Amino acid sequence: MAIIMPSRRVRKTPFSPGVEAAGVKGYTVYNHMLLPTFFESVDADAAHLKQHVQVWDVAVERQVQIKGPDALRLMKMISPRDMDKMADDQCYYVPSVDHNGGMLNDPVSIKLADDHYWLSVADGDLWQYALGIAIALGLDVEVDEPDVSPLAVQGPKADDLMARVFGDVVRDIKFFRYKRLPFEGQEFVVARSGWSKQGGFEIYVEGTENGMPLWDALFAAGEDLNVRAGCPNNIERVESGLLSFGSDMRRENTPYECGLGRFCNSPEDYIGKAALAEQAKNGPPRQIRPIVIEGEIGACTGSWPLLVDGRQVGQVASAVFSPEFGVNVAIGMVDRSHWDAGTRMEIETEHGMRGAVVQEKFWR
Amino acid sequence: MAIIMPSRRVRKTPFSPGVEAAGVKGYTVYNHMLLPTFFESVDADAAHLKQHVQVWDVAVERQVQIKGPDALRLMKMISPRDMDKMADDQCYYVPSVDHNGGMLNDPVSIKLADDHYWLSVADGDLWQYALGIAIALGLDVEVDEPDVSPLAVQGPKADDLMARVFGDVVRDIKFFRYKRLPFEGQEFVVARSGWSKQGGFEIYVEGTENGMPLWDALFAAGEDLNVRAGCPNNIERVESGLLSFGSDMRRENTPYECGLGRFCNSPEDYIGKAALAEQAKNGPPRQIRPIVIEGEIGACTGSWPLLVDGRQVGQVASAVFSPEFGVNVAIGMVDRSHWDAGTRMEIETEHGMRGAVVQEKFWR
């Protein structure tokens, strides 16, 4: 096991002092920034998340800011989703694609004003794509990364903790909607969202200097709720079927292959629309499926081929033992010929061959 | 110290089995891939590099492939350098900028054919920028990431080691030129280049499956040369003034600020040219400078402000003790008012205030 050191290039976050004090034991890097991977253990963190409430440093969800008279025009080019239907307080999950319909990122976009959007991006410099288009077409729009760092509050007690810090008004925030709420003289976008299915919020903290005061306030308010530092949890998110861009899906996949076809409803001539037309009509040649892997599996540190009679019919890039469900849960990308629930395959893990079975649905 | 685990998103390289077997102790992440940071210790690795020869897994130097009838047109848009002067076997250092002249990346471009270029990129998805431009303008060009992983051979004995594997022809390769050389039925681009000033080569290994055979061949051939696994070394590279994009320079800096003005000589109307005109004429308001920091310093894990009378006049993002030169060597970005050699400042390190002095030149 090798260690990792931060630098200016792979940077700490506004919440790093809190994360370090809480005894973070693992990091990954995401959008040129440190992202915790576990505190006590992935198992123990998952069990706690499902019972109590956690505060997550997800500052790595960097914002691509698109602002100016041509902001909506640019958004409509890079979004397969109908942006005209977006409410003023809405968060839109947007699987952005290239001219071939290949996924470039799957950000959550937030509409701050008619001429002002944030895209909360998965791992990847989507701002460079947006910037290239904007420059090439001479659009009147700024594309940059503002000083905004999301902090997530996740778990069944998230509403109670958030209400103590932001007031009972948080209980009225609907799923994938946001309100601007005051905190110590600042005002933050607070959305009901987050990368778990335990419920909760993401607070878009503007201003690095406001990070630790909010972190500290949440921990002070939540002592009797058993609040802990946490992070996106690999067990809970695979059980929930939450896809990781770069692992479960990549540029070679379309939104239809990722089960995200319902987000491709824009009437505009967005980039990639023509390329997606065939899959929109006939369905994709492969698609995301929940998979159970039999036997003992170690860590999944790459991509595991799914095999039938020695022929590859897909792969798995996320797999982990679920203590709650008592099986190895996994996310696969499986060819149409073998994607039906109940289909048995072999899987070539880095720890040996195992059996694998397609499931009807994810575990929650 | 937290550990890091690879995944499909933060992936291993074709050389990872060799790196792991050699006992890598630290990693960073660069272009969504693992990059070793030290083996024995940064000190011991530096001393060995300066005496012997090392093999470096720099697969993280991912290639942006620009191929097709409009390849040169796209290159001329994103390169401030005169691409028409590029010889067929040449490697060109290209500080690519946005419309404001801000640095987006500093790749080394390789001309494979008149309609085929690779950009060996620093940390950042420059391919998304190139792709955005290509799509917006409808250029007839492919922008993608081929299965190419550079392996560097660096150190004073690099010519001898490389000659044993590729033949004495490697001795004829000039600085920043390349030859295509055969290896076990393959043919690789072999350039005299690399991220040290100890001399050496970079081999652009095409095909993941060819990585370990080449790694093993180099180690087998170099036993009596005391060949070791190494990596870009933080001491040697700061002594040498080799800039790290993302740390020493970022989008807020122009090539002139980075001391790279001589590479902005294109007669074409490249993106950012107009914005750079003022600095081309009058010089930049701040610039990279070698700095000595006094006293004991710990690790530099972020950006350290340079202060004069409490006012910030620059910052340092790379600083480390040099056993060879007996001082703390550092790379600063310093305002014009204080960039003259000999200027004394204070620096706010994360371990306390220290004295800092601008130097005449880097240490090699």
The interface pTM score, or ipTM, of the predicted complex is 0.97
Last-in-domain residue among A180, A206, A237? A237
B57 and B69 in a common domain: no
Residue A6 located in a structural domain = no
- Contact between chains at A4 and B3 (C-beta distance less than 8 A): yes
Residue B255 located in a structural domain = no
> Residues of B with CB below 8 A from A9's CB?
123, 244-247, 317
Give the per-residue SS3 of chain B: CCEECCCCCCECCCCHHHHHHCCCCEEEEECCEEEEEECCCHHHHHHHHHHCEEEEECCCCCEEEEECCCHHHHHHHHCCCCHHHCCCCEEEECCEECCCCCEEECCEEEEEECCEEEEECCCCCHHHHHHHHHHHHCCCCEEECCCEEEEEEECCCHHHHHHHHHCHHHHHCCECEEEEEEECCEEEEEEECCCCCCCEEEEEEECHHHHHHHHHHHHHHCHHHCEEEECCCHHHHHHCCCCCECCCECCCCCCCCCCCHHHCCCCCCCCCHHHHHHHHHHCCCEEEEEEEECCCCCCCCCCEEEEECCEEEEEEEEEEEECCCCEEEEEEEEEHHHCCCCCEEEEEECCEEEEEEECCCCCC
Distance CA B243, CA B318 (A): 9
B199 and B76 in a common domain: no
**Rounded to whole angstroms, what are the CA distances from B210 to B55, B149, B151?**
15, 10, 11
Distance CA A296, CA B266 (A): 59
Q: List beta partners, residue B144.
A: B65
Residue A266 located in a structural domain = no
- What is the domain count for chain A? 3
pLDDT, tens only, B142-199: 999 999 999 999 999 999 999 999 999 999 999 999 999 999 999 999 999 999 999 9
B217 and B169 in a common domain: yes
Spatial CB neighbours of B279, under 8 Å, sequence gap ≥ 6 = B101, B254, B256, B257, B261, B285
Is the CB of residue A346 less than 8 Å from the CB of residue A306?
yes
- Contact between chains at A132 and B137 (C-beta distance less than 8 A): no
B157 and B56 in a common domain: yes
Q: How many CB atoms lie within 10 A of CB B149?
A: 25
User: To which residue do tokens 């602002």 refer?
Assistant: A67
Is the CB of residue B15 less than 8 Å from the CB of residue B216?
no
Last-in-domain residue among B237, B254, B273? B237
Q: List beta partners, residue B182.
A: B187
A1, A3, A140, best to mutate vs chain B, most B CBs in 10 Å: A3
> Is A129 at the interface with chain B, CB within 8 A?
yes
CATH of the domain at A86: 3.30.70.1400
Q: Closest Cα partner for A31 from A200, A150, A155, A141?
A: A150
B171 and B31 in a common domain: yes
**A229 sits in which H/E element:** strand A227-230
Sequence length of chain A is 364
- Contact between chains at B25 and A3 (C-beta distance less than 8 A): yes
Residue A335 located in a structural domain = yes
Q: Closest Cα partner for B320 from B305, B312, B331?
A: B331
Reading the block at residue B114, the tokens are 């008149």
Is the CB of residue A59 less than 8 Å from the CB of residue A18?
no
Q: Closest Cα partner for A63 from A204, A162, A197, A159?
A: A204
CATH of the domain at A178: 3.30.1360.120
B170 and B21 in a common domain: yes
Query: Which residues 50-109 of A have a C-beta within 8 angstroms of B?
Result: 98-99, 104
In sequence order, which ranges of chain A are alpha helices (DSSP H)?
16-21, 42-51, 71-78, 126-137, 158-166, 211-221, 234-239, 273-282
B349 and B335 in a common domain: yes
Residue A99 located in a structural domain = yes
- Long-range residue pairs from A125-129, CB within 8 A, at least 24 positions apart, any chain: A125/A31, A125/B124, A125/B125, A125/B128, A125/B129, A126/A64, A126/A96, A126/B128, A127/A64, A128/B104, A128/B124, A128/B125, A128/B126, A128/B128, A128/B129, A128/B132, A129/A78, A129/A96, A129/A104, A129/B125, A129/B128, A129/B129, A129/B131, A129/B132
Spatial CB neighbours of A218, under 8 Å, sequence gap ≥ 6 = A55, A151, A153, A161, A165, A227
* pLDDT score of A2: 81
Q: What is the pTM of this model?
A: 0.98
Taking the CA of residue B186 and the nearest CA in chain A, the distance in Å comes to 26
> Residues of A with CB below 8 A from B25's CB?
2-3
* A-B Cβ pairs (cutoff 8 Å, strict): 163
- Taking phi over 0 as left and psi of -120 to 50 as alpha, with beta for the rest, A139 belongs to beta
A71 and A201 in a common domain: no
* Residue list for the binding site of A for substrate: 202
- Contact between chains at A26 and B9 (C-beta distance less than 8 A): no
Q: Which residues of chain B have pLDDT under 50?
A: none
Residue A194 located in a structural domain = yes
Is the CB of residue B289 less than 8 Å from the CB of residue B131?
no
CA B202, B207, B210, B215 torsion: positive or negative?
A: positive
Q: What is the pLDDT along chain A (364 residues), one digit of tens a residue?
A: 688 989 999 999 999 999 999 999 999 999 999 999 999 999 999 999 999 999 999 999 999 999 999 999 999 999 999 999 999 999 999 999 999 999 999 999 999 999 999 999 999 999 999 999 999 999 999 999 999 999 999 999 999 999 999 999 999 999 999 999 999 999 999 999 999 999 999 999 999 999 999 999 999 999 999 999 999 999 999 999 999 999 999 999 999 999 999 999 999 999 999 999 999 999 999 999 999 999 999 999 999 999 999 999 999 999 999 999 999 999 999 999 999 999 999 999 999 999 999 999 999 9
pLDDT, tens only, B16-60: 999 999 999 999 999 999 999 999 999 999 999 999 999 999 999
Q: How many CB atoms lie within 10 A of CB A44?
A: 13
CA B76, B79, B81, B87 torsion: positive or negative?
A: negative
> Is B217 at the interface with chain A, CB within 8 A?
no
* pLDDT score of A1: 65
Sheet holding A142-144, edge to edge: A91-93, A108-113, A116-120, A63-67, A142-144
* Residue A274, φ and ψ in degrees, nearest 5: -60, -40
* pLDDT score of B3: 86
Give the per-residue SS3 of B152-194: EEECCCHHHHHHHHHCHHHHHCCECEEEEEEECCEEEEEEECC
Is the CB of residue B54 less than 8 Å from the CB of residue B229?
yes
Q: How many CB atoms lie within 10 A of CB B18?
A: 21
Residue B294: exposure state from Cβ atoms within 10 A (0-12, 13-18, ≥19): middle
pLDDT, tens only, A213-271: 999 999 999 999 999 999 999 999 999 999 999 999 999 999 999 999 999 999 999 99
Residue A22 located in a structural domain = yes
* Residue A23, φ and ψ in degrees, nearest 5: 85, 40
A291 and A169 in a common domain: no
Helical packing angle, A211-221 and A158-166, nearest 10°? 120
> Residues of B with CB below 8 A from A136's CB?
132-133, 136-137
Last-in-domain residue among B237, B252, B271? B237
A363 and A214 in a common domain: no
CATH of the domain at A358: 2.40.30.110
Distance CA A345, CA A72 (A): 46
Is the CB of residue A247 less than 8 Å from the CB of residue A332?
no
Residue B7 located in a structural domain = no
**A307: domain range?**
285-364
Q: Name the residue facing B132 among A27, A131, A299 (closest C-beta).
A: A131
A163 and A55 in a common domain: yes
Distance CA A276, CA A262 (A): 12
A171 and A233 in a common domain: yes
